[in-house]
Chain A
Amino acid sequence: MSAPPHVLVIDDEPQILRALRAILTEKQFRVTTASTGEDGLTQAVSDPPDVVILDLSLPHMNGIEVCGRLREWTQVPIIVLSVRDSERDKVAALDQGADDYLTKPFGIEELLARIRVALRHAIHAQGSKETTITAGPLVVDLARHIVTREGAEVKLTATEFKLLGYLAANAGRVLTHQTILTHVWGAEYADRTEYLRVYLRQLRKKLEANPEQPTFLLTEPGVGYRFMADE
C-alpha cells in the first residue's frame, strides 16, 4: 500500500463534502466526492475507491439503492452515514451489503476508526485471515476454538463460541441481528432476536469485567452488535 488510500464520499450536502475532503486529505487520504448517487456510481467505476462513504438520504437514487448497485460488481467497503432514528434504513443498507454505519452528527475520530476497520477487512477479504483476535485481555483463537481472558481459558458452549467467533472474525464491524442469527442459528431463526439478547448476556457475563457496561461486545441500538478488538 504505497499509494494513499482512495476515499469516495457521496453526499448531497456541500458543507459535509468540504469538511470531509479537508480532514481526510489532511489525514493522508486521496479524496474524491460526488453529490448524487448516479454520479457516485459513475465515479466508482472510472476511479475505483478503496472505501466509499455514502450518505443514505440522497436525492433521486437513495443511499440504500446505491449500496445495492455498488454490490453488484464490487466488494469495496461501504460506510453509510445516516441520521438518528432511521434504524430501519441503517439495517436496510447493511443488509444491502454496506459494511458499517455512522450516525450524523459524528466525531471525526469515529469516522477515521471506521475507515481503518473497513480498509483492514478489505485486505483480509483478499488475503489470509487472522485467526487470533485480541481485545484487551481477551484472545479469541478462531482456529483452535479457544478463548482466553488474561491468559486463562474461558469455557464457552458450542453456540456461545460460534456467536463470539462470528463477531470476533468481523471485529470492528457492525453486524445486524438478522445477519448474526442467520449465520449462527440458521435462516429460520432470523427473527428470534431474543436468542441474541440471552446469549450476548451470557457472553458478557463470562468475558466482560462489567457486563452492564461492556467494552468488547457492544450493542448497536436497534441495529445489531459489534465486537471491538484492539486496533
Chain B
Amino acid sequence: MHREPLSPFSIFTQYLLAVISIAVTTSLLYLLSGTLDTPIIALLYMLPVGLSTALWGLKPGVAAAFCAFLAFNYFFITPYYTLFVHQTRDVLVLVVFLIVAVVISQLVGQAQAGLAAATDREREATRLYELSTALAGLHDEQAIARIVAEQTFDTFQATHVHIVAQAQRVGPGKSSGAALELLLPPEPVPDRNPDWLFPLQTARGVLGEIRLWRDERPVLPAEERLLRTFASQGALALERAHLAESETRAKVLEESDRLKSALLSSVSHELRSPLATIKASVTSLRSEAVAWDSNARPELLAAIDEESDHLNRLVGNLLDMSRIEAGALKPNRKWNALAEIVGGVVARTLHGPAAQQHHLEIDVSEDLPLAPVDYVQLEQVFSNLISNCLKYAPANSTVRVSARVQADQNLLVQVSNQGPPVPEEHLDRIFDKFYRVTNADRVTGTGLGLSICRGIIEAHGGRIWAENRSDGFVFNFILPVEWEGASPPRSPLEPETL
C-alpha cells in the first residue's frame, strides 16, 4: 500500500542510474574489447539492462536497453565510433540485441510489478483483517467508531479522521437520533474540506460518513479501494450493533408485556373486591332493604367510605409504579425534616384500623439533619413500610420507626416489627413487583407497595433492604444527606433575644 508515487527528482535519478550502469559497462567492455567477441559483448550488455529493470522498474530498464543498443553499435560494431552498420550480420546482431534487451526488461519489469502488487494486497489484507478482528464482538457504537477511526488514521497516515453517524440507540425513556461523533486526534478539524469522504452505507441507508484529511500526497486507486472497504466494514459493524440492540429491546418489551399481563390480572382482582363492597352497600341503601333508622346504615356507609379510600390507594400505587417503570419518577427535592414527614404519616396511620391493635414507637429526632427529599414521596415510603409492618405483626406487638445519622453522610432509617422472620431467600425479592412471600389470597394489596418504596429510595440515590433480626423483621433504608454537593443547612436561628 505504501508504494507512494515518486517525486520527479527520484524518477530522473532512476533513469540516470540506468544510463550510468550502461556507461560503466561500456567502459569496462571497451577496455576488454580486444579479447571479447561481439556476441559475448552483446550478452554482457544484457546484465546492466536486466539489473536496471529489476532495481528501478520497467521504464528505466527499457531506457537502459536503448542506451546499451546505441553504445554497442557505436563502440563495438564496425565501423567503430559511428552509428552506421555495413555488414548484414552486424545489423542482425543489433536487431536481435535490441529485441532481446527490451523483452528481458519487460519480463523482469512485469515480475517486479506483480511482486509489488502482491505485497500491497497482502498489506491490505492484513489491515482489513486487523480491522475486522478489532470490530468483532463490539456492540457499542462509540467503540466501533473509535476502532474504525483509529485504524483509518494509522493505515492512511491521515492528519485528521472525523466520523459522524446517527446513533441508533433507543432505550426506554431515551430518544433516538443523537449524533455519534468521533474525532482523531481530538482537536478541531482543519478548515478546508476533507480530502476524502466516504459514506457509511448500509441496507437501511446512509448512517453517516468518514471524513479524512492528510498532507498533500495524492490518493492512489488502491488506497481508495481500501478506504471504501473500511467504510463498509464500519457500517456493517454499526448495523450489527443496531440489530443487537433491537433484539434486546424486543426482549425487554416482551418481558414488560408479560409483567403487564400479570399486573392486569392482579389488579383487576384487587380493584373488583372494594368495588363489590361499594356496589352492594350502595344498592342496599338505595333499595327498600335497609330501613332509614336501621343500624345497618352507618355500617354500610363506613364500608363504602373505607373501600373507596382503598380503591384510591390502589390506583395511586398503580400510577406510581407506571411512573417508576417509565423512569418518570423525579423527586421534587427540598430540605425536609424526617420527623415532620413521619409525624404526618403516623397521625394518619393512627386513625386507621390496623394501628388499634399495635403499639407504634417513633424514634425520629427533630435534631436530625434536614434531608434532601421529596416530601410526598418519602411520606409514601414511610406509609408503605409502616403499613406492611403492621400487616404482618402479631397482635399487641410493637412497630418501631427509627432514624439516625450513619457515618456523617447517610441517614439510616429502620422500620421494624416483632413479626415472624421472612425466609432468607425471599429477603431480596420482596421488593420485586407482585412478589409475595405468603399466598396472595390471604393478604390484601397489589404487591406493589415495596417495589414503589425501592423505586422512590433509589430515585433519591439511596438503598433499601430487609433483614431478619432476633426480635423481628426490619426494613432499612439509607438516604444520602448531601445534595448536589451541599450539606444540610444548619438552622438559620436569629440572634435576637427572647
Residues of A within 8 A of B (CB): 84-85, 87-88, 105, 155, 157-159, 177, 192-195, 197-198, 200-201, 211-214, 219, 221-222
Which of B10-18, B269-277, B331-339, B442-450 contacts the other chain?
B331-339
A residues in contact with B340, CB < 8 Å: 197, 200-201, 219
Cα-based distance from A159 to B332 in the complex (angstroms): 27
- Whether the pair A222, B335 counts as a contact (CB closer than 8 A) is no
- Whether the pair B376, A222 counts as a contact (CB closer than 8 A) is yes
B494 contacts chain A at the CB level, 8 A cutoff: yes
> Number of contact residues on B: which range applies?
20 to 34
Residues in B322-377 with C-beta less than 8 Å from chain A? 332, 334-337, 339-340, 342-344, 346-347, 362, 366, 370, 374-376
**Most B CB atoms within 10 A — which of A157, A197, A201?**
A197
- One of A157, A194, A201, A214 near B366 (C-beta < 8 A): A201
25 residue pairs of the A-B complex, CB under 8 angstroms, read: A84-B316, A105-B312, A157-B498, A158-B494, A192-B489, A193-B334, A194-B334, A197-B336, A197-B337, A197-B340, A198-B491, A201-B337, A201-B340, A212-B339, A212-B342, A212-B346, A212-B362, A213-B346, A219-B344, A221-B344, A221-B375, A221-B376, A222-B374, A222-B375, A222-B376
Cα-based distance from A136 to B145 in the complex (angstroms): 72
- Whether the pair B370, A194 counts as a contact (CB closer than 8 A) is yes
Known A-B contacts A194-B489, A197-B335, A197-B336; the reply to A158 vs B343 at CB < 8 A is no
Contact flags B375-394 to A (C-beta < 8 A → 1, else 0)? 11001000000000000000
B496 contacts chain A at the CB level, 8 A cutoff: yes
- One of A87, A212, A213 near B332 (C-beta < 8 A): A87
B485 contacts chain A at the CB level, 8 A cutoff: no
- Whether the pair A213, B376 counts as a contact (CB closer than 8 A) is no
- Whether the pair B376, A197 counts as a contact (CB closer than 8 A) is no
- Shortest Cβ distance from B491 into chain A, in angstroms? 4
B493 contacts chain A at the CB level, 8 A cutoff: yes
B residues in contact with A194, CB < 8 Å: 334-335, 370, 488-489, 492
- Shortest Cβ distance from B327 into chain A, in angstroms? 16
B113 contacts chain A at the CB level, 8 A cutoff: no
- Whether the pair B334, A195 counts as a contact (CB closer than 8 A) is no
B493 nearest in chain A by CB position: A198
A107 nearest in chain B by CB position: B305
B266 contacts chain A at the CB level, 8 A cutoff: no
Contact flags B457-498 to A (C-beta < 8 A → 1, else 0)? 000000000000000000000000000000011011110101
A residues in contact with B335, CB < 8 Å: 193-194, 197
- Shortest Cβ distance from B361 into chain A, in angstroms? 12
Contact flags B278-322 to A (C-beta < 8 A → 1, else 0)? 000000000000000000000000000000100010001001100
B residues in contact with A177, CB < 8 Å: 334
Cα-based distance from A213 to B335 in the complex (angstroms): 20
Cα-based distance from A197 to B493 in the complex (angstroms): 12
Known A-B contacts A195-B492, A201-B366; the reply to A222 vs B343 at CB < 8 A is no
- Whether the pair B496, A212 counts as a contact (CB closer than 8 A) is no
Residues of B within 8 A of A (CB): 308, 312, 316, 319-320, 332, 334-337, 339-340, 342-344, 346-347, 362, 366, 370, 374-376, 379, 488-489, 491-494, 496, 498
B residues in contact with A197, CB < 8 Å: 335-337, 340, 370
Cα-based distance from A194 to B337 in the complex (angstroms): 9
Report, nearest first, the 7 A-B pairs whose CB atoms are least far apart. Answer: A194-B335, A212-B343, A222-B376, A198-B491, A194-B489, A213-B347, A193-B334
With A201-B340, A212-B343 already in contact, 9 other A-B pairs whose C-beta atoms are closer than 8 Å: A85-B316, A105-B312, A158-B496, A159-B496, A197-B336, A197-B337, A201-B366, A212-B342, A221-B375
Cα-based distance from A197 to B369 in the complex (angstroms): 11
A residues in contact with B498, CB < 8 Å: 155, 157
B residues in contact with A198, CB < 8 Å: 491-493
- Shortest Cβ distance from B275 into chain A, in angstroms? 14
- Whether the pair B494, A159 counts as a contact (CB closer than 8 A) is yes
Cα-based distance from A196 to B320 in the complex (angstroms): 28
Cα-based distance from A201 to B489 in the complex (angstroms): 15
- Shortest Cβ distance from A84 into chain B, in angstroms? 6
- Whether the pair A192, B332 counts as a contact (CB closer than 8 A) is no
Cα-based distance from A134 to B357 in the complex (angstroms): 35
- Shortest Cβ distance from B383 into chain A, in angstroms? 11
- Shortest Cβ distance from A161 into chain B, in angstroms? 11
B residues in contact with A211, CB < 8 Å: 366
Cα-based distance from A197 to B340 in the complex (angstroms): 8
Cα-based distance from A203 to B334 in the complex (angstroms): 20
- Whether the pair A85, B376 counts as a contact (CB closer than 8 A) is yes
- Shortest Cβ distance from B282 into chain A, in angstroms? 13
Cα-based distance from A192 to B492 in the complex (angstroms): 10
- Shortest Cβ distance from A199 into chain B, in angstroms? 8
